[in-house]
Amino acid sequence: MPPDIEHTVPAQVFRQAVEQSALAISITDPKARILYANPAFQRVTGYDAGEIVDTNESILSYKVTPRIVYETMWAQLSRQRAWNGLLVNRRKDGSRYLADLTITPVLDDAGHTTHYLGMHRDVTEVHRLERQVQNQKLLIESVVDAAPVAFVLLDENEKVILDNQEYKKLVGDLGGHLGGEPATRILHRVRARLGEEFEQVRKSGRGFSGQEMRIDRGASEARWLSCAGSWFEEIDGSADAFYEPKRRRYLLLLIQDISALKRQEEAIRAYSLRAVLQERERIASVREALAGAVFQLEGPLNQIAAALHMLERRAGGEDAPLTATLGDALRDGRAALETLRACIPSEAEEAEQSVELNGLLADVLRIVTPDLLAAGVVVDWRPAPGAPHLLGRPRQLATLFRQLLTNAIEAIREARGETRDIRLTTHERDDSIEIIVADSGPGIPSEWQLKVFEPFFTTKGAEHQHLGMGLTLAQDIVTRHGGVIEIDPDYTGGTRLRVQFPRPRQATPRDKA
């Protein structure tokens, strides 16, 4: 002992410190024979001082401790280096405990080992709690991994720190279509949809649920996800936060694939939409027929009116009978014309609402699928990834797109070429939503590209029994929605129609991503 320490701290204090220590301490000779054991050692092992002194430390050993542990311990001590490790020891009553043991060689002035100082703690309960936590963690991970729902845990920076197998599958399926980490992109969509409400539920910790969104995957079928999230806090376990607890907030995001259910709903909706469109088409055909009849009758009646006007200007009385007859014919003709106009069915009013464009187009494609198959036409369907919405009337819009697709199919039939495809694309612009329908048909001559939108103009012969109102109706629907429809004059592979609608500026739609 250095003289200064011996002078400032008497040897008796060292002995009392060891005697009164809560740590089990023993001193042995180089052969591990116990020379001294403090009271804490006696309490841990159950042996009195008279029973334990002069016995070998091996009296505490238990057979479950691997031999390699002891061999490693003695190899380290033989190099005069301290050793620390865990041993399964046995008390006097036969009960076992786990000892966290540190053995330090005590050297004399010549550098020889004269004694070993052993200090150990009973860490059985600590080990049990650690194992319990590990087992619970493994159990939770097993349950989470086996769940048919994707689980993902996000930290405050929205970084994924824990996920399960279902989420990993989701990453493989949708990572490329969402343009990044699926959980982060999905959360951004939920935030955009909820707006200010998102921050309110985040701060309050209430969470959210039932947030459905459609993920389009190009030519593949769309996927539908239902999302729920809940925030919770964790108290920081670092030493810095011992006296001043720090809390970390995490978001547990649950993502369930509801595509099968949505496909059933879409099939039912498509069936209902087909019935509605068929009824609208029946009414439209009646409207077209009556409008055509009115148009055809107006010409002769105008000629009669002109002849009557000429006769009335002549002074001769010999034309009076003819004038009277023409007057009666004109009056009766106009009455019949008004009767025809009155018979034209009015179009039912439809309320405006938020329309998810990709979903509507998918429904229309389902409706025209039989026509596509019959004509051998392949559709290259490329929906916009952001699931664009517009404010409009869904039935009118469905009628518009069905009309455009039907025209494209008929054009391809007429062309009888080897290439038989339709390219249907949606794009989101800064201030508009664009839909492009391109077909591999014969195309429309430049001199007709404006006339095709005029009423009763048709490029088909009379044998096809077309009144030429299809594109007129389409233009009318587009105009009602504040949009523009035009034929691309530079397209040479057939016909390419471009439809543009203004994007809604306010009121984020319920399903807008």
Percent of the chain with pLDDT over 90: 27
Distance (Å) of CA 130 to CA 122, 123, 127, 133, 406: 14, 10, 5, 5, 69
pLDDT digits (tens, 9 = 90+) for 270-299: 777 777 777 766 776 676 677 667 777 777
Asked whether residue 135 is assigned to any structural domain, the reply reads no
Q: What is the pLDDT of residue 91?
A: 94
Structural domain ending residue among the three candidates 128, 159, 188: 128
For residues 193 and 299, state if they share a domain.
Answer: no
User: What are phi and psi for residue 492, nearest 5 degrees?
Assistant: -115, -5
Per-residue pLDDT averaged across 3-29, rounded?
82
Q: What is the pLDDT of residue 390?
A: 87
Percent of the chain with pLDDT over 70: 88
> How far apart (Å, rounded) are the C-alpha atoms in residues 359 and 215?
10
For residues 416 and 448, state if they share a domain.
Answer: yes
> How far apart (Å, rounded) are the C-alpha atoms in residues 47 and 513?
72
| Domain count within the chain | 4
For residues 324 and 272, state if they share a domain.
Answer: yes
For residues 500 and 360, state if they share a domain.
Answer: yes
Map tokens 């099939």 to a residue.
267
Residue scoring higher pLDDT (119 or 176) = 119
For residues 417 and 335, state if they share a domain.
Answer: no
Asked whether residue 136 is assigned to any structural domain, the reply reads no
pLDDT digits (tens, 9 = 90+) for 425-466: 998 888 889 999 999 888 888 887 677 777 656 665 444 444
CB distance 477 to 320 below 8 Å: no
The one-character DSSP state at 56 is B
Judged by DSSP in three states, 243 sits in coil
> How far apart (Å, rounded) are the C-alpha atoms in residues 33 and 269?
87
The interaxial angle of helices 394-415 and 357-375, nearest 10 deg, is 30
Q: What is the dihedral of CA 5, 7, 9, 11, to 10 degrees?
A: 100
Token pair of 497 as six digits: 């129609």
For residues 341 and 355, state if they share a domain.
Answer: no
For residues 275 and 296, state if they share a domain.
Answer: yes
Q: 232 is in which domain, residue-wise?
A: 147-257
Residue 6 has pLDDT above 60, yes or no: no
Task: Give the closest residue to 249 by CA, choosing from 229, 230, 233, 235.
Answer: 233
Mean pLDDT of the chain: 83
Asked whether residue 134 is assigned to any structural domain, the reply reads no
Per the DSSP assignment, residues forming a β-bridge with 118 are 26, 103
Sheet containing strand 24-28, strands side by side: 34-37, 24-28, 113-122, 96-107, 83-90
Q: What is the pLDDT of residue 462?
A: 44
Question: What is the CATH classification number for the domain harbouring 8?
Answer: 3.30.450.20
Q: What is the pLDDT of residue 498?
A: 92
CB distance 499 to 435 below 8 Å: yes
Q: What is the pLDDT of residue 510?
A: 41
Asked whether residue 140 is assigned to any structural domain, the reply reads no
For residues 440 and 325, state if they share a domain.
Answer: no
Asked whether residue 210 is assigned to any structural domain, the reply reads yes
Asked whether residue 194 is assigned to any structural domain, the reply reads yes
For residues 387 and 507, state if they share a domain.
Answer: yes
pTM equals: 0.49
Q: What is the pLDDT of residue 98?
A: 95
Map tokens 């004109």 to a residue.
330
A 10 A CB-CB count for 65 gives 17
pLDDT-based confidence at residue 106 (cuts at 50, 70, 90): very high
Q: What is the pLDDT of residue 53?
A: 93
Task: Give the closest residue to 293 by CA, choosing from 350, 262, 337.
Answer: 337
> How far apart (Å, rounded) are the C-alpha atoms in residues 276 and 279?
5
Question: What is the CATH classification number for the domain harbouring 447?
Answer: 3.30.565.10
For residues 344 and 359, state if they share a domain.
Answer: no
Asked whether residue 139 is assigned to any structural domain, the reply reads no
Per-residue pLDDT averaged across 4-13, rounded?
71
Per-residue pLDDT averaged across 310-334, rounded?
75
Q: What is the dihedral of CA 89, 92, 96, 100, to 10 degrees?
A: -40
For residues 312 and 444, state if they share a domain.
Answer: no
Residue 221 has pLDDT above 80, yes or no: no
For residues 365 and 511, state if they share a domain.
Answer: yes
pLDDT digits (tens, 9 = 90+) for 122-172: 999 999 999 998 888 888 777 777 778 888 899 888 898 888 888 888 888
Q: What is the pLDDT of residue 463?
A: 47
Q: What is the pLDDT of residue 287?
A: 67
pLDDT digits (tens, 9 = 90+) for 336-394: 878 877 777 766 677 888 888 888 888 888 888 888 998 899 999 888 876 688 888 88
Q: What are the DSSP E strand ranges found in 62-112?
A: 83-90, 96-107
